[in-house]
Structure 1
Amino acid sequence: MTDRSVRSLEFLERSASTARVLNLLKISRENRDSPEWRERPLFQTPALNTCLLIKHRLRRNETDAFRGRRQTATKVIVPIDNGELRSGGRYVFVNQINFEATLLEVFGIQPEHPDVNTLRLMDQLPSLDPFLMREQLRRSGIDPAPCYFALSDADLQNMLNFVKAEITPLVALCMGDASASASSIDRMASKILSNANGDGMEALGQTLRLNPEQYQEGVFCWKGFLYYKWSLKSMTSQIADVADRVGSVQVAGPVDQAAREYIGRGRQVLRNKIGKTCAGVRATLQIYDEAYASLTQEGNPLDFRDFLLEAPYLFARLGDQLGAIQHIVSFWTFRFGPRATAVGAEELMDIFMDFEIGLRGRDETDDAIAA
């Protein structure tokens, strides 16, 4: 299949990776001289290791490509010409019907090839956020070079500090003391953020009466909740700033009546959808907050057990919601930075359409979206 969304492909190719887009082509260009990039690739197949991966909200005519019902899919776009994105690209959805046959035909990859497993692991995630993607791969024994994740030491330390503050009540509960020592908090935070299956916290799983598989999956999603909660807190001011700038960004060059009407509508629709999506994120996080408070403040483990059992579904919903917001903030910061060129009407309409599709609620259809 061929992706003819040439303008969108060019925008994606020029931009940095976001929670919705993993730009392996840009990463390869910036790190091709790095020994780590050559020795620890994300994908062993060269064409895959220079592709673009997108968490794509399926349109009505695309849902038939899958056996089961789903709202989003991982789209693999391989440019026809890496040096000229106007040529378009071929694409395939991970786990679409005849997925393995397509990989064999296009890339010569057998079903048991490690790259197939890597694609499927990434497809299980609700977003391509670098922290969660790294955790998902590492718990399956896959450890690509750091350049694929763009996580700064400062971000990792800030995340660790947030987790420490979050779990202090749990440590105090486990110790039977109102106060928890710094060393105890450090140890438990390290265990929660551990990539190993045997994280030394099996006693918690036994207390909650979860089998090992339920416990491991629940804790991974709990880790995701903690990360998303930190992300929302750290992005709050940026989200408000982007929402304001959506309403005020100026268009360069001529603007016809149809473009003027679309952009005017897009400003209001996007601002409303950003607010509605943030409210949805907070509502999903509230489910966790209440279950955690029931455990740590009331000593009732049942609500937290129920949360861990439901966590995979809630994690997917939360990642879908917040991933769209993270993508908008990251892309807007990249495209409209201090040295950015002026934006024309056609490009701004493409950007608004991309954002609107990403923010579309699960109960909405494609009828209101132009193809």
Structure 2
Amino acid sequence: MTQNMFGKLKLLKSGGSTSRVMDLLSVYERAGPLGMTSKTAMFNTKRLNTSFIVKHTLRPWEREQLSGARISATKIIIPISECNLDTGGHSIFVEDPALDEKLSSHLGVSRALPRFRDDITRLRELAKLPSFDPYLLFDHFRLAKRPVSDAYFEMNERELGAISEFVAGQINLLVRRAMNSDQDGSLAKARKLASTLFEDHTSSRLDVLRLALNMSPEQYRDGVNGWKGTLYYCWRAGSCNRELSEFIASLKQLNLGQLNAGDRDEYRQAMGGIAQLAGQRWARVQNRLSQYHDQFSRFIKDGDGAALSQFLIMAPDMFVEMGEDMSRIQHVCASWRFWVGDREPADLPVAEARSLFEDFDAALSLEPHAKAA
């Protein structure tokens, strides 16, 4: 375990959960009224339930620690004191080959205990998710063997209903087309199948859809999971675009008048580079969204089953890649909003922005996704 988070845990907590930060400490503190119990907590070990889990962009020395092939990893940060975050915390990467040994030693828990083994399994499950967006967490844990409290999802019923309606609408279009169901009687059946697909895509009732697409059970299961994730990001794309536009506009308002000419040029260059990287990330998201809409449209309008089958085969990777890009954009936007707060541009301490810009540059930097897997 390393102790390298001195002074930063308050920022993680005050900034709240984002697509790249799971603030379990705040959830734990407010969970009482929401009905969390030991059975519905994220982990069996209390200190893990008061930790931070972060999708972290690796620095060069950290890449060497994890064999050098990755550009990002999932970090657990355990505060030294939950009441005084200024004391910092201990961290370890879930992808560390010695995770079990290091974590059990730090927590004082035997590696052989079933509850500790369950916690390790859950950490690795979380590491596989492309982001910690509440809807993805909700969908992941909805059918889990050990469910968790709704307190972790931070979604109101209206938002969940809107997402579910959007996803179900797309699924319903697919089911109707696959079954050639345009008549009223068949439409009712198609809607039931659409609901089944959303709630339990392993149901034997969906064999007709899988067979219509000429897919194996494994291809179909993985494809539908990836498809639902892709649909979620389709739904989130509008808000992500607005957040990005607001971030870039706010970034340009940073008052550089307090700096000398040389420093102003350096900051302008850094700000321009961040805006460019964010734009490139967003362009990749748009490209994948276009891919999805084109192939889905070919199936709905032209009955081209091969187009949809091809998309479903690609969907798991597409889902992860879109999640990576969108979560990085949204994390940067959320971090900037928190830093700016209610202050006016003239009141923002430019010197504080330097380390923030370095983090943004690292988070948005474009490298092959294959290395980040």
Q: Same fold (TM over 0.5)?
A: yes
Q: Is the 8 A contact 2:34 2:151 kept in 1?
A: no
The answer to whether structure 1 residue 93 and structure 2 residue 78 are counterparts is no
Q: Does 1:324 align with 2:325?
A: no
* Other-structure match for 1:221: 226
AA in 1 matched with 2:284:
G
- 1:345 corresponds to: 350
In 2, Cα distance between equivalents of 1:238 and 1:99: 36
Structure 2's unaligned 5+ residue stretches are none
Letter in 2 for 1:149: F
- Which amino acid counterpart does residue 311 of structure 2 have in structure 1? F
Check conservation: 2:172, 2:194, Cα contact below 8 A: no
Classify 1:256/1:4 alpha carbon distance in 2 versus 1 (closer, same or farther; 3 Å). farther
User: Conserved in 2, the CA contact under 8 Å of 1:8 and 1:350?
Assistant: no
Counterpart of 2:214 (choices 191, 195, 209) is 209
Stretches of structure 1 that go unaligned for 5 or more consecutive residues are 365-371
Give the partner amino acid of 2:50.
Answer: T
Aligned match of 1:149: 153
The percentage of counterpart residues that share the same residue type is 27
Map 1:3-14 onto structure 2 (within 5 A).
3-14=3-14
Shift of 1:67: 5.3
The one-letter code matched in structure 2 to 1:225 is T
Map 1:133-212; keep pairs closer than 5 Å: 133-178=137-182, 183=188, 186-194=191-199, 197-198=202-203, 200-212=205-217
CA spacing shift, 1:277–1:188, aligned 2, 3 Å? farther
CA gap of 1:182–1:250, structure 2 versus 1, over 3 A, is farther
CA drift of 1:158 comes to 1.3
Query: How far apart are residue 90 of structure 1 and its match?
Result: 0.9
Q: Which amino acid in 1 is paired with 2:309? A: R
1:293 has 2:297 as partner:
yes
Identify if the C-alpha distance between structure 1 residues 320 and 233 changes in structure 2 by more than 3 Å, giving closer, same or farther: same
Could you report, residue by residue, the CA deviation over 1:104-144 in whole angstroms, capped at 9, with x for unpaired residues? Answer: 21222526521111111111111111111222233332321
AA in 2 matched with 1:240: S
Alpha-carbon separation, structure 1, partners of 2:199 and 2:274: 38
- Take 2:80 and 2:263, find their aligned partners in 1: how far apart are those partners? 30
Q: Does 1:278 align with 2:279?
A: no
User: Which range moves more in the overlay, 300-309 or 162-171?
Assistant: 162-171
Within the candidate set 303, 308, 314, 1:304 is matched to 308
Tell me which amino acid in the other structure corresponds to 1:232: A
Structure 1 position 182, deviation (Å): 7.4
Give the deviation of 1:168 after TM superposition.
4.6
TM-score (norm 2): 0.86
CA spacing shift, 1:259–1:82, aligned 2, 3 Å: farther
Question: Any idea what the Cα deviations from partners look like across 1:301-347, whole Å, max 9, x if unmatched?
Answer: 22322222222222221111011122233333444444899542343
Corresponding position of 2:61: 61
Which AA in structure 2 matches 1:70? R
Q: CA deviation at 1:199?
A: 7.3
The verdict on how the C-alpha distance between 1:325 and 1:186 changes in structure 2, with shifts beyond 3 A counting, is farther
Contact kept? 1:192, 1:223, Cα under 8 Å:
no
Give the stretch that moved more between structures: 53-62 or 18-27. 53-62
Cα distance in 1 for residues equivalent to 2:88 and 2:304: 56
Q: Structure 1-normalised TM-score?
A: 0.87
Amino acid aligned to 1:244: A
> Counterparts of 1:273 and 1:343 in 2: how far apart (Å)?
23
Structure 1 counterpart SS, 2:54 = strand
The Cα RMSD (Å) is: 2.9
Would you say the 8 A contact 2:51–2:76 is kept in 1?
Answer: yes
2:44·2:119 contact (CA, 8 Å) conserved in 1? yes
User: Aligned-pair distance for 1:243?
Assistant: 1.6
1: CA distance between counterparts of 2:317 and 2:119? 26
